[in-house]
């Protein structure tokens, strides 16, 4: 049977990630053998700014991609030195043009890549969007340069499709597989930049039925964390201190809970926390914990209620939760409980925590379901790329 090997690159935000997978089979069950999977987080760099600083993110991606690729090829047993290449002009100039905005990356590329053998891969996948455009461009240009030197096709991947498919990766007897047949599925995508409900009727069929009108839920977690004096990223911090909180001490709004659509709004909830905190003055640890819990409960309530309503309306057979906020224990447990209380069976797919936040394995998975571009030279970052 035909194996396909994909090398995937992710640089849409503050994680630089590269993975290599070998896939086999067809939906509803595709075997995924992970040959290598590496993620470098920039969290410590962005912490000082209380959020992701795009130009810093870009610089870090450019600085770390080549060493990360070398490590990933080594992990996969694919790193072989060759004496074959010396890149001279005019070819050198072509790579210089592709990487013209990333001189440091070009320098590393031209020093290292020509000296290694073309690895036994079939395609190079790269996140095309959505995300921070300066950050996306670094990965895209790197993928273009690799595709040119290795003569491989490029598969442009939607980052949110990665978040939506990652939860379907499951352990099997023989390793891991992306397996699912419970369609229609309702996808709840919750990350730092997105809050969306997606109707997935079948493989590759996506329709966004609702989205946030202002802040993403992860963004709200991050902003509330800042109000409470907690470091970036705020999601895990809020969840941690909320464990010591007392329920019912503070009352917060549940924005758009009863609106007839599937849209969300989290800006007002964040502002409500800000005003409460101001009124309280200097916060004690107990007050912080109680506020964190009140916020987490309000956010989770809205997410779960709207997801359940979508399940009813579309008669969904499964719910798929993806994106960084899917790591949140209260969200996972509340959703599990709510689905259990329904009479009919609805499957719940939630990623392992390492697959919740940004990674390149999910990009490889989505790439398997995506066609290569026939014109990678003209591939552009799509910061606001919508699914479907
Ligand atoms: O998917 P992701 O890694 O990056 C984006 O594509 O945005 O999501 C990052 C977001 C951040 O806002 C972070 O605070 C949030 O996910 N997050 C969490 C948790 N872990 C990460 N939010 C709530 N609870 C968590 N345990
Ligand atoms: Zn993400």
Q: What is the mean pLDDT of residues 246-274?
A: 97
Closest-CA residue, ligand 1 atom 13, reads 235
The answer, yes or no, to whether any atom of ligand 1 lies below 6 A from the CB of 191, is yes
Mutate-to-test residue for ligand 1 from 12, 166, 325, highest number of ligand atoms within 8 A of CB:
325
Q: 206 has which bridge partners?
A: 200
Closest CA to 154 of 162, 146, 166: 146
Could you read off the pLDDT of 92-105 as tens digits, one per residue?
888 999 999 999 99
Q: Which atom of ligand 1 is nearest to the CA of 219?
A: 12
Does the pLDDT of residue 89 top 70, yes or no? Answer: no
What's the predicted TM-score (pTM) here?
0.95
Does the pLDDT of residue 380 top 80, yes or no? Answer: yes
Give residue 90 CA to ligand 1 midpoint distance, Å: 44
Q: Is residue 225 very low, low, confident or very high in pLDDT (cuts 50, 70, 90)?
A: very high
Does the pLDDT of residue 221 top 80, yes or no? Answer: yes
Give residue 15 CA to ligand 2 midpoint distance, Å: 9
Does the pLDDT of residue 1 top 60, yes or no? Answer: no
The answer, yes or no, to whether any atom of ligand 1 lies below 6 A from the CB of 129, is no
Mutate-to-test residue for ligand 1 from 357, 363, 366, 387, highest number of ligand atoms within 8 A of CB:
357
Q: What is the mean pLDDT of residues 36-63?
A: 92
What one-character DSSP code corresponds to residue 324?
G
C-alpha count within 13 angstroms, C-beta hemisphere, residue 55: 0
Q: What is the mean pLDDT of residues 74-99?
A: 85
Residue 235's pLDDT is 97
The answer, yes or no, to whether any atom of ligand 1 lies below 6 A from the CB of 236, is yes
Does the pLDDT of residue 388 top 90, yes or no? Answer: no
Does the pLDDT of residue 84 top 70, yes or no? Answer: no
Does the pLDDT of residue 52 top 80, yes or no? Answer: yes
Distance CA 235, CA 37 (A): 24
First-to-last C-alpha distance (Å) of the chain: 31
Q: Which atom of ligand 1 is nearest to the CA of 131?
A: 6
Does the pLDDT of residue 342 top 80, yes or no? Answer: yes
Residue 173's pLDDT is 82
Q: What is the mean pLDDT of residues 176-189?
A: 94
Does the pLDDT of residue 311 top 60, yes or no? Answer: yes
Distance CA 150, CA 201 (A): 37
Ion ligand 2 — residues with CB < 5 Å:
191, 358
Closest CA to 123 of 40, 198, 19: 19
Q: Is residue 327 very low, low, confident or very high in pLDDT (cuts 50, 70, 90)?
A: very high
Residue 171's pLDDT is 87
Q: Which residues contact 125 (CB under 8 A, 6 or more apart)?
A: 6, 7, 8, 9, 143, 154, 155, 156, 157, 363, 364, 366, 367, 370
Could you read off the pLDDT of 267-307 as tens digits, one per residue?
999 999 999 999 999 999 999 999 999 999 999 999 999 99
Q: What is the mean pLDDT of residues 102-114?
A: 93
Q: What is the mean pLDDT of residues 207-216?
A: 97
3-class secondary-structure state, position 23: strand
The answer, yes or no, to whether any atom of ligand 1 lies below 6 A from the CB of 221, is yes
Closest CA to 141 of 122, 123, 127, 152: 127
The answer, yes or no, to whether any atom of ligand 1 lies below 6 A from the CB of 222, is yes
Q: What is the mean pLDDT of residues 210-228?
A: 97
What one-character DSSP code corresponds to residue 230?
P
Give residue 91 CA to ligand 1 midpoint distance, Å: 41
The answer, yes or no, to whether any atom of ligand 1 lies below 6 A from the CB of 13, is yes
Q: What is the mean pLDDT of residues 81-94?
A: 76
Closest-CA residue, ligand 1 atom 18, reads 235
Q: Which atom of ligand 1 is nearest to the CA of 12?
A: 6
Pick the range with the lowest mean pLDDT from 38-52, 66-80, 207-221, 313-327. 38-52
Q: Is residue 8 very low, low, confident or very high in pLDDT (cuts 50, 70, 90)?
A: very high
Q: Is residue 48 very low, low, confident or very high in pLDDT (cuts 50, 70, 90)?
A: confident
The answer, yes or no, to whether any atom of ligand 1 lies below 6 A from the CB of 215, is no
Residue 371's pLDDT is 94
Could you read off the pLDDT of 126-158 as tens digits, one per residue?
999 999 999 999 999 999 999 999 999 999 999
Distance CA 191, CA 12 (A): 12
Spell out the alpha helix ranges (H) of the chain: 43-47, 54-75, 91-98, 103-112, 133-150, 159-165, 217-227, 234-242, 267-280, 285-313, 329-341, 353-356, 361-368
Q: 18 has which bridge partners?
A: 9, 38
Average pLDDT over all residues of the chain: 94
Distance CA 56, CA 46 (A): 8
Residue 307's pLDDT is 98
Does the pLDDT of residue 47 top 90, yes or no? Answer: no
């Amino acid at each position: 049977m035909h194996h396909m090997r994909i090398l995937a690159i992710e640089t849409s935000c503050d994680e630089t990630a590269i993975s290599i997978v070998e896939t086999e089979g067809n939906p509803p069950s595709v075997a995924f053998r992970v040959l290598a999977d590496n993620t470098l987080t920039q969290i410590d760099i962005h912490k000082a700014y209380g959020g992701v600083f795009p130009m810093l993110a870009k610089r870090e991606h450019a600085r770390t991609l080549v060493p990360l690729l070398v490590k990933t090829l080594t992990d996969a047993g694919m790193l072989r030195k060759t004496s074959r290449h010396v890149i001279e002009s005019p070819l050198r100039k072509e790579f210089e043009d592709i990487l013209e905005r990333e001189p440091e990356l070009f320098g590393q590329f031209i020093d290292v890549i020509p000296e290694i053998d073309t690895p036994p891969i079939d395609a190079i996948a790269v996140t095309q969007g959505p995300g921070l455009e300066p950050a996306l461009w670094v990965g895209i240009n790197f993928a273009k340069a690799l595709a040119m030197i290795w003569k491989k096709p490029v598969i442009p991947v939607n980052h949110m499709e990665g978040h939506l498919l990652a939860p379907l990766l499951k352990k099997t007897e023989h390793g891991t597989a992306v397996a699912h047949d419970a369609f229609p599925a309702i996808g709840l995508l919750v990350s730092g930049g997105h809050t969306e409900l997606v109707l997935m009727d079948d493989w590759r069929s996506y329709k966004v039925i609702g989205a946030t009108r202002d802040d993403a839920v992860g963004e709200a977690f991050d902003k509330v964390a800042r109000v409470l004096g907690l470091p970036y990223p705020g999601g895990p911090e809020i969840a941690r201190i909320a464990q010591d909180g007392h329920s019912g001490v503070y009352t917060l709004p549940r924005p758009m809970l009863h609106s007839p659509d599937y849209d969300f709004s989290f800006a007002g909830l964040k502002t409500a926390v800000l005003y409460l905190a101001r009124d309280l003055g200097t916060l004690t640890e107990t007050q912080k914990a109680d506020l964190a819990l009140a916020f987490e409960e309000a956010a989770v309530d809205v997410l779960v209620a709207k997801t359940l309503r979508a399940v009813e309306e579309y008669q969904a057979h499964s719910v798929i939760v993806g994106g960084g906020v899917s790591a949140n224990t209260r969200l996972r447990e509340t959703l599990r409980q709510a689905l259990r209380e329904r009479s009919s069976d609805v499957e719940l797919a939630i990623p392992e925590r390492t697959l919740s936040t940004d990674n390149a394995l999910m990009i490889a998975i989505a790439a398997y379901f995506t066609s290569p571009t026939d014109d990678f030279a003209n591939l552009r970052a799509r910061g606001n790329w919508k699914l479907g």
